[in-house]
A and B are shown apart, each in its own frame.
Chain A
Amino acid sequence: MSANVNTSLPLEYQTHQSRMNILGFWIFLGAEIVLFATLFAVYAVLYQNYAGGPTHQDIIMIKEVMIQTLLLLTSSFTCGLAIYEMRRNNVKGLISWLVITLLLGAGFLFMEINEFIHYIHEGATMQTSAFLSSFFVLLGTHGAHVTLGIGWAIIVIIQLIKRGLTPVTARKIFIIGLYWHFLDVVWIFIFTFVYLKGMVG
């Protein structure tokens, strides 16, 4: 388990331990895919069981959701820029783009929470029907992931400021980047199969 350093690789891949961490995280994302796939499957089974409660068309606020989508997609792009700056060894650029990414993520979250509050005021709660149970839990799980991602990124940014760009901090940033893109992909599925499909019935 000697350091086994390979300086010809990007910073985040240089140590053996980092390479293992990144592979481990990919496998973790595999598990996350199964997790979301299961939630989607549950939603697919229950999405028409309105039980006399509101239907998709009754509640969905498509305009707000479009903005959320835009925010999250943009944040994925800025996250890519952050990694690009990391590869250029530009810590300031890296942190700036990361902060922008998180702000966009926070904007997404803020809108999503407002959306949920709106639904609840309309009388569409998790307890209303099986459709709404699966709807809220699928979206809520995604939202909880975004929240976690923001908190986690803040912690790593603090480490980045304290320690600068090292193989360890670079690896941590890179892994957060993977996570963030993954959440974006999940959102695309949610947007398509929950919102768009819900609109057309």
Chain B
Amino acid sequence: MGNIKWDEFFITGDPLILGAQVSIALTMLGVLFGLTYLKKWKWIWREWITTVDHKRIGIMYIIAAILMFFRGGIDGLLMKAQTSRPEMGLLSSQHYNEIFTTHGVIMILFMAMPFLIGLMNVVIPLQIGARDVAFPQLNALSFWLFFSGAMLFNISFVIGGSPDAGWTSYFPLAGKEFSPSIANNYYAIALQIAGIGTLMTGINFIVTILKMRTKGMTLMRMPMFTWTALVTSGIIVAAFPIFTVALALMKFDRLFGTHFFTVSSGGSDMLWANLFWLWGHPEVYIVALPAFGIFSEVIATFSRKQLFGYKSMVYATVGIALLSMVVWVHHFYTMGSGPGVNSFFSLTTMLIAVPTGIKIFNWLFTMRKGRIKLSSAMLWALAFIPTFTIGGVTGVMLAMGAADFQYHNTLFLVAHFHYVLIPGVVFAVFAGLYYWWPKMFGHMLNERLGKWHFWLFNIGFNVTFMPMFFLGLNGAVRRSYTYSAESGFAPLFLLSAIGSVILAAGFAVFCYNIYWSIRYADRNISSDPWDARTLEWATASPVQHYNFAKLPEVKSFDAFWQMKKNNEGLTLKDSEIEEIHMPSNSGQPFMMCVIFGVVGFFLVFEWFIPAAIASVGIIVGLIYRSFDYNDGYHIPVEEISKTESTWRNEKGEVHKHVG
């Protein structure tokens, strides 16, 4: 079967990987044992695995994303350790290749995107005053397909070998000719499975936002986070099919010997680069835009002012989305497209700085004369502005085609995109997590630990990546596992490595904060602890599974703020309660996750007959779904009125501050 040698099935011989294998095995045993010991199997199946509740799906996305952050972060630390001194022997060149590849893929596709999609899941239906997304079961399927792809990708380093051609997997390197092992199949197949889930998410959120807004919530009254989620979903629908095709063609080349991207028989390796970045650049904005939305919410709330220039924010978001489709060539100026093409793409790329600049100024003006409260969430937003601007300004430097010949493929570029992605995405999800944590769990994250987390992570981040700009300008190339002592790079590399340790310490504090808060944080908090402005705060924390007993009515932007100010719509009379219709749980999405994982695994190893047999399961799953006429269930009035009385005070009001 296939071309795998059985003695190479499990990767052996490397102590690092052996350690990972042992720890994976122990963790899995621990989880299985723990669930059995605590008799939690039924609970986890009923409450989580089969759930179609957008809030729980969101939380599962976030947990998975934090785990992936951990994995990707370890990869990052290993790379930093390897380059901390010249001629280090910690990682071989092959191992380094594998690690920067998995790091890049995991951070972008399995950390940044699911983290944001998780927050979108938790928050968007609440912000628009809805009881769930448009297609709750499809939503669960999206999550489980993402999870399937992520797990498939992650086992690569213990079974069969990790992909090693970079997160961009350029041809001809990624082709069969130069990467004969099955490792790069993992890239093509795992991302394909996760990508289907993402596409479904995009469709789901567009329909949700267009069709499920509560009464009075016009498009131009939607909170900024909802707007960015809508636009991001649009980019997903426009860009992900390109990646789907590119990955499929990659599989055809690798598995069936076609000639799309090969050098021989008329294929075109540049075709891959174009397709990849036609998706890849919009992908950057898929993760950046919702992050901008989070900052908008956080900055408005903690400046206690309405978001400045709301309309221009909306137009800027749409403008960025459109421009993001016409800049992809800036990733390969050096590949000889000629000065005309390069100039065009330089121009479009620099144009993106305009709407982005508008956003930056809007945030600054929102804060101007605001009564700023320096909560942990706000700290991330404040730090975002200057650091992201560094990322943006270096981006404009890279955008100039002629100048890029100097920067291309150096650590300058690596520093640039980390300065965009870490402030632009990671800071945002941290801000969002501190901000919405009480909404999700009914208690806050510890603010003091939050400050430690913030300062360590921030200082660590800057110390890690600032030196890389200078290393890059001095000629240190990216994706290189070592350098000589004569190069003179050693001091800056060492400084950068020290920074990454501080950064890791920040992440550790973050994990400890989660642990501490779950155990000890005060449960007796207001449902609106930040005195916030949008509808997700108009209901209980943690949110009841039906979200709103009575759907709120919106009369203006910052709907909840207005409701509090005018003291209207906050109360709930028993007579107003009606039965609520909710969708039923389903095990089908999880089964699809398992089946897709099995099919994917067989395909990775090029065992076509087992793969074909297993994919019958996919068809059965789809048919099962088609015949499923389960129409959900109704929550009786008494149950609603009981639930509501547990969190509303005597007057039937939500807590309100507004000052």
**In the assembled complex, A78 has its CB within 8 A of some CB on chain B:** no
A137 to B626, CA, bound (A): 28
Q: For residue A39, which residue of chain B has the nearest CB?
A: B245
Q: Find out whether the CB atom of A27 lies under 8 angstroms from the CB atom of B131.
A: no
A131 to B258, CA, bound (A): 10
Q: Find out whether the CB atom of A46 lies under 8 angstroms from the CB atom of B271.
A: yes
Contact of A20 among B131, B135, B268 (CB under 8 A): B135
Q: Find out whether the CB atom of A133 lies under 8 angstroms from the CB atom of B252.
A: yes
A131–chain B nearest beta-carbon distance, Å:
7
A171 to B534, CA, bound (A): 35
Q: Mark A121-163, 1 if CB is under 8 A from B, else 0.
A: 0000011111101101100000000000001100110010001
- Chain B residues near A51 (CB-CB < 8 A): 259, 264-266
Q: Find out whether the CB atom of B207 lies under 8 angstroms from the CB atom of A20.
A: yes
**In the assembled complex, B623 has its CB within 8 A of some CB on chain A:** yes
**In the assembled complex, B372 has its CB within 8 A of some CB on chain A:** no
Interface centre among A31, A53, A131, A159 (most CB of B within 10 A): A31
Contact of B260 among A32, A42, A152 (CB under 8 A): A42
Q: Find out whether the CB atom of A46 lies under 8 angstroms from the CB atom of B268.
A: yes
Q: Mark B241-280, 1 if CB is under 8 A from A, else 0.
A: 1101110110010001111101011111001000100100
Q: For residue B582, which residue of chain A has the nearest CB?
A: A1
B456–chain A nearest beta-carbon distance, Å:
42
A134 to B580, CA, bound (A): 52
**In the assembled complex, B204 has its CB within 8 A of some CB on chain A:** yes
Q: For residue A3, which residue of chain B has the nearest CB?
A: B581
Contact of A31 among B134, B240, B265, B271 (CB under 8 A): B240
**In the assembled complex, B210 has its CB within 8 A of some CB on chain A:** yes
Q: Which of A164-191 contact B (CB under 8 A)?
A: 168, 172
- Chain A residues near B268 (CB-CB < 8 A): 45-46, 49, 130
**In the assembled complex, A19 has its CB within 8 A of some CB on chain B:** yes
Q: A24-B134, A156-B626 are in contact. Are A42 and B265 (CB under 8 A)?
A: no
A136 to B203, CA, bound (A): 29
Q: A1-B582, A133-B252, A137-B252 are in contact. Are A34 and B258 (CB under 8 A)?
A: no
Q: Find out whether the CB atom of A42 lies under 8 angstroms from the CB atom of B581.
A: no
**In the assembled complex, B237 has its CB within 8 A of some CB on chain A:** yes
A27 to B237, CA, bound (A): 8
Q: For residue B626, which residue of chain A has the nearest CB?
A: A155
Q: Find out whether the CB atom of A35 lies under 8 angstroms from the CB atom of B206.
A: no
- Chain B residues near A20 (CB-CB < 8 A): 134-135, 207, 211-212
- Chain A residues near B132 (CB-CB < 8 A): 1
**In the assembled complex, A62 has its CB within 8 A of some CB on chain B:** no
B41–chain A nearest beta-carbon distance, Å:
31
Interface centre among B212, B262, B271, B619 (most CB of A within 10 A): B271
Q: A129-B266, A130-B260 are in contact. Are A42 and B242 (CB under 8 A)?
A: no
Q: Which of B580-625 contact A (CB under 8 A)?
A: 580-582, 619, 623
Q: For residue A172, which residue of chain B has the nearest CB?
A: B626
Interface centre among A20, A133, A137 (most CB of B within 10 A): A133
Contact of A49 among B241, B248, B252, B267 (CB under 8 A): B267
Q: For residue A2, which residue of chain B has the nearest CB?
A: B581
Q: For residue B262, which residue of chain A has the nearest CB?
A: A130
Q: Find out whether the CB atom of B203 lies under 8 angstroms from the CB atom of A129.
A: no
A27 to B266, CA, bound (A): 35
- Chain B residues near A159 (CB-CB < 8 A): 626-627
User: What total of chain A residues lie within 8 Å of the partner, measured CB to CB?
Assistant: 43
A155 to B625, CA, bound (A): 11
Q: Find out whether the CB atom of A126 lies under 8 angstroms from the CB atom of B582.
A: no
A3 to B259, CA, bound (A): 52
Q: Find out whether the CB atom of A23 lies under 8 angstroms from the CB atom of B266.
A: no
User: What total of chain B residues lie within 8 Å of the partner, measured CB to CB?
Assistant: 48
Q: Find out whether the CB atom of A19 lies under 8 angstroms from the CB atom of B259.
A: no
Q: For residue A166, which residue of chain B has the nearest CB?
A: B629
A156 to B627, CA, bound (A): 9
Q: Find out whether the CB atom of B266 lies under 8 angstroms from the CB atom of A24.
A: no
A18–chain B nearest beta-carbon distance, Å:
11
The B contact surface, by secondary structure, is helix
Q: Which of A11-56 contact B (CB under 8 A)?
A: 16, 19-21, 23-24, 27-28, 30-32, 34-35, 38-39, 42, 45-46, 49-51, 53
Contact of A1 among B131, B210, B239, B249 (CB under 8 A): B131
**In the assembled complex, B238 has its CB within 8 A of some CB on chain A:** yes
A147–chain B nearest beta-carbon distance, Å:
11
- Chain B residues near A168 (CB-CB < 8 A): 629
B551–chain A nearest beta-carbon distance, Å:
9
- Chain A residues near B210 (CB-CB < 8 A): 23
A172 to B249, CA, bound (A): 31
- Chain A residues near B627 (CB-CB < 8 A): 155, 159
Contact of B241 among A35, A126, A172 (CB under 8 A): A35
Interface centre among A1, A20, A39, A42 (most CB of B within 10 A): A1
A128 to B257, CA, bound (A): 9
Q: Mark B267-310, 1 if CB is under 8 A from A, else 0.
A: 11001000100100000000000000000000000000000000
- Chain A residues near B492 (CB-CB < 8 A): none
- Chain A residues near B267 (CB-CB < 8 A): 46, 49, 130, 133
A77–chain B nearest beta-carbon distance, Å:
26
Q: Find out whether the CB atom of A34 lies under 8 angstroms from the CB atom of B238.
A: yes
Q: A20-B134, A133-B267 are in contact. Are A126 and B256 (CB under 8 A)?
A: yes
- Chain A residues near B581 (CB-CB < 8 A): 1-3
A9 to B495, CA, bound (A): 68
Q: A1-B582, A2-B581 are in contact. Are A23 and B211 (CB under 8 A)?
A: yes
Q: Find out whether the CB atom of A126 lies under 8 angstroms from the CB atom of B252.
A: yes
Contact of A35 among B202, B245, B580, B619 (CB under 8 A): B245
Q: Find out whether the CB atom of B245 lies under 8 angstroms from the CB atom of A50.
A: no
A32 to B241, CA, bound (A): 7
Q: Find out whether the CB atom of A27 lies under 8 angstroms from the CB atom of B206.
A: yes
Q: Find out whether the CB atom of B252 lies under 8 angstroms from the CB atom of A24.
A: no
Q: Find out whether the CB atom of B266 lies under 8 angstroms from the CB atom of A130.
A: yes
**In the assembled complex, B199 has its CB within 8 A of some CB on chain A:** yes
Q: A46-B268, A159-B627 are in contact. Are A127 and B256 (CB under 8 A)?
A: yes
Q: Find out whether the CB atom of A24 lies under 8 angstroms from the CB atom of B135.
A: yes
Interface centre among A20, A32, A136 (most CB of B within 10 A): A20
Q: A1-B132, A42-B245 are in contact. Are A19 and B237 (CB under 8 A)?
A: no
- Chain B residues near A35 (CB-CB < 8 A): 241-242, 244-245
Query: Across chains A and B, which 4 residue pairs bring their CB atoms closest together, nearest first?
Result: A49-B266, A130-B266, A133-B258, A35-B241
B: which residues have CB within 8 A of A?
131-132, 134-135, 199, 202-204, 206-207, 210-212, 237-242, 244-246, 248-249, 252, 256-260, 262, 264-268, 271, 275, 278, 578, 580-582, 619, 623, 626-627, 629
A: which residues have CB within 8 A of B?
1-3, 16, 19-21, 23-24, 27-28, 30-32, 34-35, 38-39, 42, 45-46, 49-51, 53, 126-131, 133-134, 136-137, 151-152, 155-156, 159, 163, 168, 172
Give 15 A-B pairs besides A35-B244, A130-B267, A130-B268 with Cβ atoms closer than 8 angstroms: A1-B582, A20-B135, A20-B212, A23-B207, A27-B206, A27-B207, A30-B238, A31-B238, A34-B238, A35-B241, A38-B245, A46-B266, A133-B252, A137-B260, A155-B627
23 A–B pairs (Cβ distance < 8 Å), ordered by A: A1-B581, A2-B581, A20-B207, A20-B211, A23-B207, A24-B135, A24-B204, A32-B241, A38-B242, A42-B245, A42-B249, A46-B260, A51-B266, A53-B265, A126-B252, A126-B256, A126-B258, A128-B265, A129-B259, A130-B259, A133-B258, A137-B260, A152-B626
